[in-house]
């Protein structure tokens, strides 16, 4: 999905934000894109679709962050949201064991649907509430490693760990995109990758509704 402009490349990445309600997905992304937390004077109308322009080692990156509805009843709609996404940020609340279980379900589902094309980040949010921690650091980090994801600890309130999280995710997505390109050869790579995307748009809605994802929950 990365598009070329003349000689220098501009990458556009789609990142989905997954996680139960109340884990602080919205705060996290608002803090990252607008550097705001619980601001009384909110000017942003919405925090469900946000963009961020980055410059990583001289390469321009456009990040589109898609928030998803975290309620259990919308769980089955996940595949519609995350098709064609390059990365996923899976957020849980370190004080809430349940939310960590949900993350595990998401990971299973994403790996099943998108394989290794997607870069995963597992994020334990609200580390300012460390005294109430219910998910142990070791458990979370070993799980992340076992599924090929990176683990981060963040606090949207204290603005900790968020920049690092997205920077790392972007770097990994760039590597994946470059590897993809090398694999497909240089000339036809763009049209090939775009065509693939189009076909997925055509076929996926019918092909991947809800399915077995609920059974694991």
Partner 1 sequence: MMSQRRGIHVDQSELLCKKGCGFYGNNAWQGLCSKCFREENQREKQKQIQEDWALAERLQREEQEAYASRHQKTQSQSAITPFSKFEERKTKEKSSKVNTVTKFFIPSTKTPPKKDTSFDSHSSPSPSSSASRHSFNDGDQATREFIDFLKPLKSGREIFKQCRAFTESMVYKRDIGADELSECVQDFYQNLSDRLHTQFKGSTDHVESVMDEVEKYMMTRLYKEVFCPETTDDEKKDLAIQKRIRALHWVTIEMLCVPVDEEIPEVSDSVVKAITDVIEMDSKRVPKDKLACITRCSKHIFNAIKVSKKEAASADDFLPTLIYIVLKANPPRLQSNIQYITRFCNPSRLMTGEDGYYFTNLCCAVAFIEKLDGQSLNLSSEEFDLYMSGQASPHWPQPSGASLGAAAGSAALSQVHKRLDLLTGLGERQERVMEKARQLESDLIDWTDEVEQKVQSVLDSFPPEPENPAAPAASGTTAAPAAAASSAIDSDNVENELLPPPLQPQVFAG
Q: If binding is defined by CB under 8 A, does position 49 make contact with partner 1? A: yes
Residues that contact partner 1, how many (by CB under 8 A) = 48
Q: If binding is defined by CB under 8 A, does position 207 make contact with partner 1? A: no
Burial of residue 202 (number of CB atoms within 10 Å: 0-12, 13-18, 19+): exposed
Rounded to whole angstroms, the Cα distance separating 89 from 110 reads: 11
- From 100-108, 136-144, 149-157, 192-200, give the range in contact with partner 1 by CB under 8 A: 192-200
Rounded to whole angstroms, the Cα distance separating 95 from 125 reads: 9
Q: If binding is defined by CB under 8 A, does position 136 make contact with partner 1? A: no
Place of tokens 């980055």: 54
Rounded to a whole number of angstroms, the minimum distance from the CB of residue 141 to partner 1 is 27
Classify the phi-psi angles of 195: left when phi > 0, otherwise alpha if psi is within -120 to 50, otherwise beta. Answer: alpha
Cβ contact 128:95 at 8 Å: no
Residue with smaller CB distance to partner 1, 148 or 217: 217
Residue with smaller CB distance to partner 1, 47 or 144: 47
Question: Residue 90's beta-bridge partner residues?
Answer: 18, 122
Binding site for partner 1 (CB under 8 A): 1, 3-6, 10, 12-14, 17, 21, 25-26, 30, 42, 44-49, 51, 62, 64, 66-71, 73-74, 76-77, 80-81, 84, 190-191, 194-195, 197-198, 201-202, 205, 209-210
């Amino acid at each position: 999905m990365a598009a070329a402009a003349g000689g220098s490349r501009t990458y556009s990445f789609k990142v989905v934000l997954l996680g139960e309600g109340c884990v602080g997905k919205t705060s996290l992304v608002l803090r990252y894109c607008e550097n705001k937390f619980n601001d009384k004077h909110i000017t942003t109308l919405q925090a469900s679709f946000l963009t961020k322009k980055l410059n990583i080692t001289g390469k321009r990156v456009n990040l589109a962050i898609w928030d998803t509805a975290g309620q259990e009843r919308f769980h089955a709609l996940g595949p519609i949201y995350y098709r064609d996404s390059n990365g996923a940020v899976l957020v849980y609340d370190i004080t809430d064991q349940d939310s960590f279980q949900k993350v595990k379900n998401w990971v299973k589902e994403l790996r099943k649907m998108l394989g290794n094309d997607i870069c995963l980040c597992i994020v334990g949010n609200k580390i300012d509430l460390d005294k109430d921690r219910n998910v142990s650091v070791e458990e979370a980090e070993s799980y992340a490693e076992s599924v090929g994801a990176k683990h981060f600890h963040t606090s949207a309130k204290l603005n900790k760990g968020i920049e690092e999280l997205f920077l790392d995710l972007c770097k990994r997505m760039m590597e994946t995109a470059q590897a993809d390109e090398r694999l497909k050869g240089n000339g036809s790579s763009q049209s090939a990758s775009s065509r693939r995307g189009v076909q997925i748009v055509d076929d996926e809605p019918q092909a991947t509704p809800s399915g077995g994802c609920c059974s694991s929950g």
